[in-house]
Structure 1
Amino acid sequence: MLAVSGCGAGEAPRGAAKASAEQEAAPAPTRSLPRTVEARCKIPAKGDVVQVPAPGGMLSAGVVGEGKVGAVLLHQTSGAGFCGWATYGQWLADKGVNVVMLDVCNYGQSQCDDALTKDWVAQIKAGIDFARSRGATTVTVVGASLGGVLALGAGEQAGADAIVNLSGPSEWEGVPDAMAAAKATTVPLLISAADADTGIEVDVLKAAVAASPAAHKRYVPMPGEAHGWTGISNGMSIDPVFEPLATTVLQWIQGDYGH
């Protein structure tokens, strides 16, 4: 099995250096850039690669699925950008989710000026607004590792209806730390991490969930040493085996907070 490149092992340590609903996707700027998720990520997966307008740049994204239930997936630190989400994005789409897999600034094919690069809220908002322009009426922001930090630290301010943080380090430059962010989070909040995962302060993440005023909040342990999107499936291979967490996150996206 061929695994998509990119995982949390290359994450910077904690504290490392750091639209409207009517907007439409622009085509990739040159013919040399991949226009499909399959071509971009080198695995058989559905979806198109588009560019999402943001103040001060264009963010590349893989889009798949349609409908009123939306999800914006934020990636780990990975040279492949959103590609680690490709198989899960298709899995979600097959279950009726309108999926936007977003490359944040400095990843994938995104092109950003300095101001946008430093503005996590603006980047996530561009993804959320784009999902709404595709027909989503609710949008859950799901992030793995780096993406988890961003989902928790900037997701609600950017307009998310719910937040999922998978193995996000408790601190990252440019966003509030996990405890401060959780205390300001009122939308449904799901955080998941593995006790054996080093360097992300799992105890802080558990305490952050408890501190959130959200009416719906949950902490779900990951098995073993799973990190980020490896808690969803077995390394995002071309023949993935999805873990129970994949279904839990789907339920959160669908607004089913009772599981």
Structure 2
Amino acid sequence: MRSRIGAVTTILTTLALAGCGGGDDPVGGTPSRTPSPTPTPTGQADQPWRTLDGPLGRCGPQPADVADAGFTPTTLTDPEVGSIAAVTAGSGSTVAVLLHQTDGNGLCGWLPYAADLVAEPGLRVLAIDLCGYGESECTGDRTGAHQVDAVEVALAEARRDSSRVVVVGASMGGSVALMTAATDGDLAGAVDLSGPVDWDGIEVVDGGRELKVPVLVAMADSEGADQVDAAREIVEQAPEGGRFVGAESGHGYDLLLDADARPLPLARTVGDWIRGRP
């Protein structure tokens, strides 16, 4: 699988040092397996939160709709890459492969939004722990650009019975989503929420010119004008059909849901784009 990332390895050799905004750890530095503290939920009178049973109990208290979404933990294995912890939910011919930030205990950070996605029929989600995070156990050095290897394991699973696969990432996961979109032309598209776009002047996926599929990129003004301008360029240089979405503030998951896990306007925009709606 290492051969699949050749197009981005040179550009992203320094990405292992790059930081994700919003308090994230470095994109490809030494990952921490220590779960981040779960924020104390607010608005409990409107939406009771509780801890899930079984393996997903590690994710801490979750909104009621997460508990009702039917998440099924699983493990994806590949002899070269290792064991990738994952969770699935929903049904349909479209699959969203979700790539997490460095905070929030791996795939756990996606559960509230994933529950919203699968509340409408026709869409499945497959969220994974990237190498070095959560419960995944990978072989060799899978940091930085080599996280694409774990994503390809997930994509192989997603393609077993689906006609449309979109990879969606937040912060670090957004950068990995773009890397995947530069190596896998069979994707329907990729979504990048606040992924770092450059490091020491080196642009991720060559400013969009290496991308093989359309992308939706969201970046808040609070990330800085340089990041916003570079994010716009990625969409402009990517294949036709992409979209840039701005916001005043927020990073990664915070662009989709508020502190009470209620969807923000961008949540529907991303959901419609994943489903291929105009």
Name the TM-score, length of structure 2 as normaliser.
0.73
Tell me the equivalent position of 1:184. Answer: 210
Tell me the equivalent position of 1:11. Answer: 24
Q: Which residue identity lines up with residue 59 of structure 2 in the other structure?
A: C
Tell me the equivalent position of 1:26. Answer: none
Whether 1:202 aligns to 2:228 is yes
Structure 1 residues not aligned, in runs of 5+: 1-6, 19-33
Name the SS of the counterpart of 1:9 in structure 2. coil
1:123-138 alignment to 2 at 5 Å?
123-133=150-160, 135-138=161-164
Equivalences, count:
226
Using a 3 Å threshold, how does the CA distance of structure 1 residues 156 and 179 change in structure 2: closer, same or farther? closer
Name the SS of the counterpart of 1:87 in structure 2. helix
Equivalents in 2 of 1:93, 1:209: separation in Å?
A: 27
Equivalents in 1 of 2:156, 2:236: separation in Å?
A: 29
Using a 3 Å threshold, how does the CA distance of structure 1 residues 228 and 81 change in structure 2: closer, same or farther? same
Tell me the equivalent position of 1:77. Answer: 102
1:52-111 deviation digits (Å, cap 9, x = unpaired): 113231111121111101100100111511111101111111112110011100111000
Tell me the equivalent position of 1:246. Answer: 267
Whether 1:105 aligns to 2:123 is no
**8 Å contact 2:98–2:128 — kept in the other structure?**
yes
1:121-165 deviation digits (Å, cap 9, x = unpaired): 2111111111223x3221100100000001012234244221000
Equivalents in 2 of 1:146, 1:200: separation in Å?
A: 18
Tell me the equivalent position of 2:58. Answer: 40
1:140-219 alignment to 2 at 5 Å?
140-158=166-184, 159-171=186-198, 177-178=203-204, 180=206, 182-198=208-224, 201-212=227-238, 214-219=239-244
Equivalents in 2 of 1:129, 1:17: separation in Å?
A: 26
**8 Å contact 2:89–2:125 — kept in the other structure?**
yes
Tell me the equivalent position of 2:140. Answer: 114
Equivalents in 2 of 1:199, 1:150: separation in Å?
A: 22
**8 Å contact 1:153–1:181 — kept in the other structure?**
no
Equivalents in 1 of 2:236, 2:149: separation in Å?
A: 28
Equivalents in 2 of 1:184, 1:35: separation in Å?
A: 41
Whether 1:255 aligns to 2:246 is no
1:90 corresponds to which of 98, 106, 115: 115
Equivalents in 2 of 1:200, 1:77: separation in Å?
A: 22
1:33-72 alignment to 2 at 5 Å?
35-37=54-56, 39-42=57-60, 43=62, 44=64, 45=66, 46=69, 47-54=71-78, 55-72=80-97
Q: CA RMSD in A?
A: 2.5
1:248 to partner: Cα distance? 0.9
Name the SS of the counterpart of 2:222 in structure 1. coil
Q: Which residue identity lines up with residue 155 of structure 2 in the other structure?
A: I
Taking every aligned residue pair, what percent have the same amino acid on both sides? 31
Equivalents in 1 of 2:207, 2:54: separation in Å?
A: 36
Equivalents in 1 of 2:23, 2:175: separation in Å?
A: 15
Name the SS of the counterpart of 2:243 in structure 1. strand
2:245 corresponds to which of 220, 242, 257: 220
Equivalents in 2 of 1:206, 1:178: separation in Å?
A: 13
Using a 3 Å threshold, how does the CA distance of structure 1 residues 172 and 94 change in structure 2: closer, same or farther? farther
Using a 3 Å threshold, how does the CA distance of structure 1 residues 128 and 169 change in structure 2: closer, same or farther? same
Structure 2 residues not aligned, in runs of 5+: 1-19, 31-52
